[in-house]
Structure formats: structure tokens, C-alpha cells
Structure 1
Amino acid sequence: RKRALSLVRVFLFSLYSLTEISRLTVFTTTRSVTYKARFHNFKVRSRLEFGCACLLFGLLEMSVLPKGDSVHIREVWNDNLEEEFALIREIVDTYNYVAMDTEFPGVVLRPVGSFKNISDYNYQTLKDNVDMLKLIQLGLTFSDENGNLPTCGTDSSCIWQFNFCEFNISEDIFASDSIELLRQCGIDFKKNNEKGIDVKRFGELLMSSGIVLNDGVHWVTFHSGYDFGYLLKLLTCRSLPDNQAGFFDLINMYFPMLYDIKHMMKFCNSLHGGLNKLAELLEVERVGVCHQAGSDSLLTSCTFRKLRDNFFNGSTEKYAGVLYGLGVESGQTTN
């Protein structure tokens, strides 16, 4: 009889969980998972009930994270650029969370001189390198507020990976370790040269796509000063501004709502490290190849949602507009 009553309670607990799922707080580490339930007038009285509750919530969490065989990375080259942007224009109003990652030739310059603070030094380093170097790859993952990805009329969820033609490994400057890492991760520099996208044409299509100059679009990134620097360079067809104030003016114009996960991590005592480490701590699985922009943008998207739901109770607005390592010390944000 006790077992029967316990099973009934598990069933009722499951139904209640489905309707009150926002009141569950989940803390995860690499080796263990602890579920903290904050329900009104409902207590988990047995190990069976607790185990079933954990299983239920785990299944719910798994169900909204994309599986590798259900995600298609749409490779974009010069010959299919316009048709892919046509798809993006159709989905952006519904899937208005845009996770972004770039691949570029590393960092080759460090400025010398005196700087008021570390953020000014960081910005000068960013500007010098972005002005000199060329974008190799851009990944975009679109999702709605609940983390659902577009399917674009197919049986699979889809994300985008744009391959650019400007970088020439035999002529352009680069950081050797960065390029070797990208080569090991499968980027074909010769193919990029031959079939890649012209950045000026990309900038024109991006400008009219609906994903920039739009405060209804939420940009999701990780330690993204360089990512936004390269996007601003191709959108404006100019070198970056001489100072952070000018840089943030452009950010505020083109990307009025953005989140930098690296900045948000400062408010989570138990979290540290880069994107891969954070994904590991939150038990978010990668789809695709590390250090390719499409896969990294998807990992960024899934990690952001897990972080938002588990550590910020689904509300992150007050953390928007700050780029990690830039502007914070001098009070400059995009807002």
C-alpha cells in the first residue's frame, strides 16, 4: 500500500513539475547533479520520489537540447549565400536569439605605451588585430526564447556556418598556433579562398537581414569583443573606432541587445573557464567539431539557455550590454 501511495505521489509530482517547472533550480557539476525543488506545500518524502523527480527533470532538460543527429550545419559559400540569407530573413522574427562565434587568424599584435586601465589596453589590442587581420568563418545559431531551433522545412534543426574567402594563408599575417589549430579542426583554407564569401557582399546582406539594427534580436556570445569587432568591420567597411566610446556607440547601434556569457559567469561563484569548460560543468554536449564557428555558436546557444535557467531564474536582462574585458571598468556598456 505504501508503495502504491508513493507511486501515486510520483505521478502527481510529475504533473506538478510540468506545470511549475520554472520553480526548479538545477545545479550541475561534471560528476554529480543536485536538484533543488522549491515547491509550495509539496515535499519529496522518499528516495523513490526524489529519484523519479530527478529523472523527470533530467529528461525534460535533455528533450530541449538538440541531439547531434538532428542538427544540420548549413555550410554557406559564395554560391548559396543569397538563398541562405533569404531563409534567415524568414525565421528571424520567430527565432530571435542569435548565438554567434567567429574564427580568425589569432592575435599577432600587442600595443605598447601607457593606458588608463586594462580595458583600454584590451580594446587597443582588439582594434590593432581586427584592423589588420581577416575573418575566416562565422557561425550563427538561431533559437526562440525556449531554445527551439528552426528547421527551415527539413526534418532537422539547422544552424549556419559562413566561410569567407579573404584570408590567404600564403600571403596574410597570422598567429601560427591559431591557424594550425583551425587546420586540425578541419578548416580548408584553400577551399575558402576558392569558394568562400566576399565580406563586402556578406555585409550588405547582413545589413538587410533583420538581425542587426534590431532591438528585438538578442545576441548571445562568449567573450566576444573580437567577434563583434570583426562584424563591425565588415558592416561599416572601416577600421574600428580609435576609442572604446566610439566602439560602444557602434555596438549600441548594430547590436542593441547582447549577452556575453563570460561576463555573466562573474555572478556565478561555482563557474569558471572557457566555453568548453563551462559546457562541461553544465553538462551541455557539443554537436560538431570544436573550433569551427557553427558548432561553437550552437554550444554557445545551448550553454546560455542552461546558464540562464539554472543560475538566473530565466531573467538575464540586467546583465545585457556588457562585453567581458571591455568598458566595464570605465563604465561603458552598450546601454
Structure 2
Amino acid sequence: MEVRQVWAHNFDSEAKLIESLLSKFWYMAVDTEFPRMVYWPAGLAYKLEPAERYRLLRCNVDTLHPVQLGLTLFDAGCVLPGGHGGATRYVWQFNFHDFDVRQHRHVVESVVALRSRCVDLDQTQQYGIAAEATFGPRLRKWTRASLGRTDVVMSRGGYDLTYLVKMMFRTGFRMPGSATEFDAVVKAVLHRRRVFDVGEMARLCPREHLRRGLDSVAGQLNEAWFTANAARQASYDSLWTCYTFMKLREIYFDDDGKLAGVDGILAEVTTF
């Protein structure tokens, strides 16, 4: 597996490569890395009403800055794009320069966690891509119908999706006031693509022990690719999301009707 690291200097060439592949792959797994939540609920998160969950999400996304975005393209057979006659498979990791640990609000422990996973925040700030000014417009291009009908798969749908939308609307975009308004924005920018959250898919499965985070779900599905990797970054998590989605689909959502039933059900965003 080759992680294609994307910085400001090679962004255009990597973006063109992705654009050449979109029509050939059905799915795009996405993972975002950012300094973890600075706003927390006063009580237990699972007891929040849907409107309160969305408000908490909105406050955090409007305050925080993405550090990385991992992207894995794959088809219905879980085949990834690659080179060297298929001997190498590609995943992408976009590194953003927007977060400045010296001036932007963050939780200290979250920065420690990022660095423990070998995320070099000095390097991302110096050589990274402008998330909203540069990456966002290209992302909007990728969602146009002319580049294929690639569906989007995420591991923590609410945060991943809201960061995607925020980047697509460029600098200064503020999250809509309600989840209903946000849903309308998503439909407009994704051009009716399906969106899946593997965490919510697991929650809706009959096996109680799957109703946990991505790490737990992937481990309990007993996939051979599951490893404990302390240096895991966004690219790895997007690949993990890809494999977890395909395994959940194989076992629990094995026809189009079942899969359609979980389209658009996203943590922190879905209003039911």
C-alpha cells in the first residue's frame, strides 16, 4: 500500500490523478484529522436531543481547523486504484496548513495525540495546502456529476461531512443554524450522492457489540488487515473505513434496499 502524501507543491498533479479515476470507482472513503472538540455537552452526550447534538457539532466545526484528510477510492469489489501493474495500491493523505498550534484554540491532549501519531504540525503549517482556499474548490469539482457518481463513506459522519462542506464553501463559511438547513446544503453540494457513516451502520446492526467506534467495529469483524498502529493518520483511517464499510455491507447490508436504508444517517447530523 502506498500512501500518496499531498502537499502544496504536488497538490495539482495529485488532484488531476484523482479526477482521472473518479469515474472508475464507486466509493470514496474519507477521514479528517483535527484538534479534538473544544466544546462539550454539560451532561452525557448520548442523552442530547438531535438539535443539541447538531449545535455542539456546529460550534466545534466553526472553531476548529482540519489538519489532514485521508481519501481512499474503491469499487464494489473493494479494489483500490494503483500503479506498477497492480502491484501497488494507492490511498491519499492531504496535509493542510490552516491549523497553527500557537494561536488557534485546541485541547492540549489532542495535539499530543496527533504528534504521537507522527503528525508534524510544523511541517503541515509550512508546506501544507490551504484547506478552504485551495482544496475546497477542487473538492467541489470532484462532486460534479460529470466526474462520476462516487458515493461518500465516512467513519464519524457528522464531523467528516461538515468539514468537507465547510472546505467546499471556502473561507468564512459558517455552519447553518439547524440540521435541516445543513441537510439542504449537503444535497446541493454533493449532487444527490449517497453518504454512509460506518459508525451509524454498525449501530443499526443486530450485534450489540458492534455499536461502538471504528476501532472496535473493525477489530470485532476480524478482518486480516486490522492492526494496532500507533502512528495511524488520516490516510490509514480512510482505508480502514473502506474495509469496514465493505465488511458491514457483505454481512448486514447485502442488497440495495438494505443499503438504501442507511444512506444519509449520520452521527450528530441526522435528526431522527
Q: Could you state the TM-score of these two structures normalised by the residue count of structure 2?
A: 0.88
Map of 1:157 onto structure 2: 89
Give the one of 33, 36, 40 matched to 1:103: 33
Choose 120-129 or 319-328, whichever is displaced more.
Answer: 319-328
Please state if 1:198 is matched with 2:130.
yes
Map of 2:252 onto structure 1: 311
Letter of the 1:169 partner, please give it: V
CA spacing shift, 1:212–1:184, aligned 2, 3 Å: farther
- Asked whether the 8 Å contact 1:92–1:210 carries over to 2, the reply is no
Letter of the 1:242 partner, please give it: G
Letter of the 1:136 partner, please give it: V
Choose 222-231 or 152-161, whichever is displaced more.
Answer: 152-161
- Kindly provide the CA deviation profile for residues 260-288 of structure 1, in whole angstroms up to 9, marking residues without a partner as x: 11121133222222111111111222476
- Asked whether the 8 Å contact 1:215–1:257 carries over to 2, the reply is no
Q: How far apart in 2 are the matches of 1:75 and 1:205?
A: 17
Please state if 1:241 is matched with 2:182.
no
CA spacing shift, 1:266–1:167, aligned 2, 3 Å: same
Please state if 1:258 is matched with 2:195.
yes
**Larger relative contact order (Cα-Cα within 8 Å, sequence gap ≥ 6):** 2
Gaps of 5+ in 2: 43-47
- Kindly provide the CA deviation profile for residues 40-71 of structure 1, in whole angstroms up to 9, marking residues without a partner as x: xxxxxxxxxxxxxxxxxxxxxxxxxxxxxxx1
Gaps of 5+ in 1: 1-70, 330-335
- Kindly provide the CA deviation profile for residues 238-267 of structure 1, in whole angstroms up to 9, marking residues without a partner as x: 111111111111111223311111121133
Q: How far apart in 2 are the matches of 1:259 and 1:289?
A: 26
Q: How far apart in 1 are the matches of 2:214 and 2:166?
A: 24
Letter of the 1:76 partner, please give it: V
Q: How far apart in 2 are the matches of 1:164 and 1:289?
A: 21
Q: How far apart in 1 are the matches of 2:4 and 2:145?
A: 20
Map of 2:45 onto structure 1: none
SS at match of 2:51: helix
Map of 2:2 onto structure 1: 72
Choose 211-220 or 227-236, whichever is displaced more.
Answer: 211-220
- Asked whether the 8 Å contact 2:36–2:106 carries over to 1, the reply is yes
- Asked whether the 8 Å contact 1:290–1:296 carries over to 2, the reply is no
Map of 1:134 onto structure 2: 65
Give the one of 214, 222, 226 matched to 1:275: 214
- Kindly provide the CA deviation profile for residues 156-188 of structure 1, in whole angstroms up to 9, marking residues without a partner as x: 000100000010111111012211111100000
Q: Where does 1:1-335 land on structure 2 (aligned, <5 Å)?
A: 71-110=1-40, 118-152=49-83, 155-199=87-131, 200-210=133-143, 216-237=149-170, 238-255=173-190, 256-270=193-207, 271-284=210-223, 285-286=225-226, 291-315=232-256, 316-329=259-272
Shift of 1:144: 0.7
Q: Could you state the TM-score of these two structures normalised by the residue count of structure 1?
A: 0.72
Q: How far apart in 1 are the matches of 2:65 and 2:203?
A: 31
SS at match of 1:93: helix
State the number of aligned residues.
257
Over the aligned positions, Cα root-mean-square deviation in angstroms equals 2.3
Q: How far apart in 2 are the matches of 1:130 and 1:291?
A: 22
CA spacing shift, 1:142–1:289, aligned 2, 3 Å: farther
- Asked whether the 8 Å contact 1:102–1:138 carries over to 2, the reply is yes
